[in-house]
Amino acid sequence: MTGRFGRGSIRLRLVGQLAAVAAVLSVAFFLIVRGVAGQAAEDTQDNILAASATAIADALYTDNNAVSLELPYSAISMLGTISQDRVFYRVVADGTTLTGYDDLPSPDAQTLGPAPNFTTFPYRGESVRVATVLRSVSVGNQPVNVTVTVAQTQLGLAEISSRITATATAIAVGFFLAAMALILLAARSALAPIGRLTRSVSRRGPQDLRPVVTDTPTELVPLVEELNKFISRLGTSLSRSEDLITEAAHRVRTPLAAVRAQAEITHHRLNKPEHRQAIREMIRAIDESSRSAGQLLDHAMVTFRADSHERDALDLTDLLNDTCNRLGPTADLKDIDLIRDLPEHPCEMVGDRILLQSALRNILDNAIKYSPADSRIIVRATDGDAYRLSVSDEGRGFGGAAHTELTTRFSRGSNVSDIVGSGLGLTIADEVALTHGGRLEISENTNGVGACVSLVFPKQ
């Protein structure tokens, strides 16, 4: 997709093709108007020239056995009324010039028919339109062929022609612009159903996998049907994945818990120190597996929900309290003092409860895990420009590892190899923060002991 009118834009193709048609029609229109009107103007000049030549021919008479002529005033003045063009004429009787311009070429009488003959040629530095009329005059019972040639320059014609061109251009451009406006409107109205369909699909909530029922034009019905089939398959697939994650959690955690319980019992029964040591190792491995499985499933859940997370109105204070309550017993086991520094009022935001719970649980779990016994963990929420939920411990910190390193999947701080961990905890927290438009901040405490991990969410 390259911008709004990408390569695949239907609108662009529709408008482009129609515009091409409109352009072709405009040009055709222009050529036709100019051609027809230009021809009409030329015909007008021809008609006047023919009328002038005929008027002169009509004024021929025989005088003393010779052809003579009294040039009619109107024959020339009619040419002067339409334009300021130069006028030339020549009357030839039996091959000799009777009157007029001797050098004006006059067609041979033999080649002329009864109708006026028209030609165009250059004369005295300008192109002239020429009409010639043949008339037979009887001189002493002998017919004498007289040719009357009238020529006129084409300045007036050129003026008319340029006016016609200007008018035709204006009309053609106007036609094209009007057509373009209509084309754009037509394209918009033709493509409106696609926009409606798009909006109706994009308006849906993440959990809304009902079939699309928007009114669609015939052409889009197959697409919508396929879309609905796809949604239905997606729904099935999603519910299967969720079932799988839940099922997997159950199936993995329960047996591991059972095995751990059995190992504990066995540990109490055994007397030999080397056997007890082996069992402790086993318990430790079980813990590691259980924890890893839990975090992997959490991470799967975060990834699964991140794209289409729910938007519930929730209270962050509430969530923190809840998380502290759940992990309170674990902290107690290590004699860790869980100090809550939470505001009195609710910190409301819209987000996915399960994801946020998972993030907070992982952060606090990490803090408890890496804190030494008999230490303090401060869980704090502040409500400023943004909500900041932070967990500070007195543990060993991160050994100076970078933020990106810590939030990369399966990577852990360089100083924690002696403690069970998968390296997914901060990754989960980071992804949840990003999903909610917030960020994860990691800092070493300033006094050199412990670290502080914060989730920062902008207020919506």
Interaction site with other proteins (CB under 8 A): 68-73, 75-77, 79-81, 84-88, 98-100, 124-126, 155
- Single-letter residue type at 196: R
Q: Checking DSSP bridges between strand 337-341 and strand 376-383, what pairing results, if any?
A: parallel
CB of 109 to other proteins, least distance (A): 20
Locate tokens 């329960």: which residue? Answer: 254
Joined tokens for residue 32? 């036709």
**Residue 130 CB, nearest approach to other proteins (Å):** 15
Least gap, CB of 44 to other proteins (angstroms): 17
> Which residue's CB is nearer to other proteins, number 124 or number 199?
124
Name which of 135 and 299 has its Cβ closer to other proteins.
Answer: 135
Query: What one-letter code names the amino acid at 452?
Result: C
Question: Closest CB to other proteins among 50 and 428?
Answer: 50
Shortest reach from residue 172's CB to other proteins, in Å: 31
Choice between 39 and 77, CB closer to other proteins: 77
Q: How far is CA 366 from CA 265, 362, 370, 371, 421, in A?
A: 28, 6, 6, 8, 9
| Nearer to other proteins among residue 25 and residue 59 (C-beta) | 59
Smallest gap from Cβ 148 to other proteins, in A, equals: 13
Q: How far apart are the first and last CA of the chain?
A: 30
Using the Cα atoms of residue 285, residue 288, residue 292 and residue 294 in order, give the sign of their dihedral.
positive
Query: Of 98 and 179, which has the nearer Cβ to other proteins?
Result: 98
Closest distance between other proteins and the C-beta of residue 87, in Å? 4
Paired sense of beta strands 126-139 and 96-100, if any: unpaired
Beta-carbon contacts of residue 236 (< 8 Å; ≥ 6 apart)? none
Least Å distance, CB 75 to other proteins, is 8
How far CA 431 is from CA of 81, 149, 425, in Å, comes to: 91, 98, 10
Q: Which is nearer to other proteins, 66 or 249 (CB)?
A: 66
Cβ neighbour number for residue 197 with a 10 Å cutoff: 19
Nearer to other proteins (CB atom), residue 155 or residue 238: 155
CB 336 within 8 A of CB 375: yes
Structure-block tokens of residue 394: 């007195």
62: left (phi over 0), alpha (psi -120 to 50) or beta: beta
Task: Note the maximum CA span of the chain.
Answer: 166
Q: Are 354 and 301 in contact (CB under 8 A)?
A: yes
What does the block give as tokens for 19? 């515009």
Question: Contact 445/397 with Cβ under 8 angstroms?
Answer: yes
3-state secondary structure of 43: helix
In whole angstroms, how close is the CB of 134 to other proteins at the nearest point? Answer: 19
Minimum CB separation of residue 191 from other proteins in Å reads 55
- Provide the β-strand partners of residue 117: 132
What letter would DSSP give residue 280? H
CA–CA separation, 286 vs 266, rounded Å? 14
Q: Between residues 94 and 315, which has the closer beta carbon with respect to other proteins?
A: 94
> 61 or 410: whose CB is closer to other proteins?
61
CB of 126 to other proteins, least distance (A): 8
